[in-house]
Amino acid sequence: MRIGILTSGGDCPGLNAAIRGVARAAYQTLDAEIIGIRAGYRGLIDGDYQIMQQSQFSGILTLGGTILGTSRTPFRNMRVVEEDNVDKVYAMKMNYKAMRLDCLVTLGGNGTHKTANMLSQEGLNIIGLPKTIDNDIYGTDFTFGFHTAVDIATDVIDRIHTTAASHSRCMVIEIMGNKAGWLTLYAGMAGGADVILLPELPYDIGKVAKVLDDRAKLGKYFTIIAVAEGAMTQEEAAMKRKDREAARAQSEYNNISQRIAVQLQELTGVECRTVIPGHMQRGGSPCAYDRVLSTQFGVHAAQLIKEGQFGVTVALQGNRITHNRLEDIAGVPKPVDPDSQIVKAARDISIAFGDK
């Protein structure tokens, strides 16, 4: 049984743990040979791969990043023949056959899953593993990498608290998450943020300013704001996406946190500073939760291979490791529900979302 593995899209903690889970379970339960495809779908297009040795899967459980390397090959360009004159879909199918693969395991986020589904529909045996710090893949409660990123972002907020309180400042902390606010929501709650701004809950800057004023009246002279990079005002939310992006491109501000900080300082007179942890949230060793989840996902993938179940992606639902059909989840968004229990809980402890 020749099993190909690739990691695609943005890196995150837990990729190596998942690779290890697939490989070790495959070696244990199947007569398996693992083919490591370098740099994601780009490696599959170019035929860049190596036959892995069992020893290469030792010592990687705690290692961040991915031993296979990764790249971003946007799904929207997969069927577009560009200047290199390469038919990417045809090349991937031919290299799959040239590698004599019995199946391909793809580790990635939404874009990765859309391409995985396309390859499945093209007749290849595909199994997906849901990876992203954004936790926005439909059909799974959590993706691996998410909890580690939450821990990192929470640590940033924790550390900012002390300097904010010491200087009576408003600190605007920009958390990753362009389309979905899960990471900002969880880190904001865990870090004791006073305001959480999410893409799913468009904000009014005047209502955010009122939070600062109300806290000052109570003798609380600092404020912590956790803002997702994709957060938008209520006016922006009413625009078409193309118009919103054009307006932001012409903005005098480099990012959402800078814009909010400048506006709040003008409205309230409170000194406002920004903090952007950026790619730190993707880096480093996976937390214990992600090590266990990644391993379980990898083992389940190996079991699916053994059973000959393809065209699916692994998922966590409740306390069960299960799987969904790729065609049912690929490209389906999983935003934060504004009426969800976790949002209601945040509101009940006086966390503001800038919308009311």
Residue 224 C-beta-side C-alpha neighbours within 13 Å: 25
Residue 318 burial class via C-beta count within 10 angstroms: exposed 0-12, middle 13-18, buried 19 and up: exposed
Please give the backbone phi and psi of residue 173, each rounded to the nearest 5 degrees, phi first: -105, 120
Report residue 59 as tokens: 């010592």
How far apart CA 231 and CA 356 sit, in angstroms, is 15
How far apart CA 258 and CA 263 sit, in angstroms, is 9
Query: Is-catalytic flag, 136?
Result: no
Please give the backbone phi and psi of residue 232, each rounded to the nearest 5 degrees, phi first: -145, 155
DSSP states of 209-247: HHHHHHHHHTT---EEEEEETT--BHHHHTS-HHHHHHH
Closest CA to 157 of 116, 196, 131, 199: 196
Exactly one of 11, 102, 134, 136 is catalytic; name it.
Answer: 134
How far apart CA 168 and CA 320 sit, in angstroms, is 46
Q: Check: CB of residue 322 under 8 Å from CB of residue 45.
A: no
How far apart CA 246 and CA 47 sit, in angstroms, is 38
Classify residue 303 by its DSSP letter: H
C-alpha 177: how far from chain center? 7
Residue 283 burial class via C-beta count within 10 angstroms: exposed 0-12, middle 13-18, buried 19 and up: middle
Residue the block writes with tokens 């009426």: 339
* Count of CB atoms situated within 10 Å of the CB of 12: 30
Angle (nearest 5°) at CA 336 between 141 and 285: 55
Q: By 3-state DSSP, what share of the chain in percent is helix, strand and coil, each rounded to 5? A: 45, 20, 35
How far apart CA 219 and CA 101 sit, in angstroms, is 65
Catalytic residue ranges: 134
